[in-house]
A and B are shown apart, each in its own frame.
Chain A
Amino acid sequence: ETGVTQTPRHLVMGMTNKKSLKCEQHLGHNAMYWYKQSAKKPLELMFVYNFKEQTENNSVPSRFSPECPNSSHLFLHLHTLQPEDSALYLCASSPSGTSGIPSTDTQYFGPGTRLTVL
């Protein structure tokens, strides 16, 4: 595998379910990101991890819980979601991250997980 991979590619869940999204990067990068992409809206940055430490949480509801066990893997744990959380969730990585803020480096994106909340 090369680049940034995300699993699953599609996920349908009920509002009471608990599920997790997985992201893996094979680029040797130190920073990883979760974005939410909704129709007709700009990409919304959700979380940033730099050297496995969370450096940004963009006022994301607690029903989204990130986890970064190492610099290659990033998870997004989901529980008691709402229908308005349905979106494409994109993971990205970049070579290095400035502490506390997303890097100005190029970000490399995975293909995303299309999430539908019923």
Chain B
Amino acid sequence: AQSVSQHNHHVILSEAASLELGCNYSYGGTVNLFWYVQYPGQHLQLLLKYFSGDPLVKGIKGFEAEFIKSKFSFNLRKPSVQWSDTAEYFCASYNQGGKLIFGQGTELSVKP
């Protein structure tokens, strides 16, 4: 069965530190990858998505992600985090049955 896995359950950083959150997916045919963010008390919202083309994808709020086909990875990055980036981050992908599959999530805490 297709799966999405996230390496880190909880990441703690200081402001201005660089961020990289890992995501690996099992191959399921057509590539489609998403990063969602859930700020405390708010809706899940889309940060960025990748289907094809340039493997470096830029999203909202200064986030980017790189698709590396050989590693089945789609890691999320941000050069300099802010306290307001404190949230839970989810990697997701549609499987062949059309279901959106989420990773377990990574909780990011940014210390001011």
Question: Are the chains A and B members of one assembly?
Answer: no
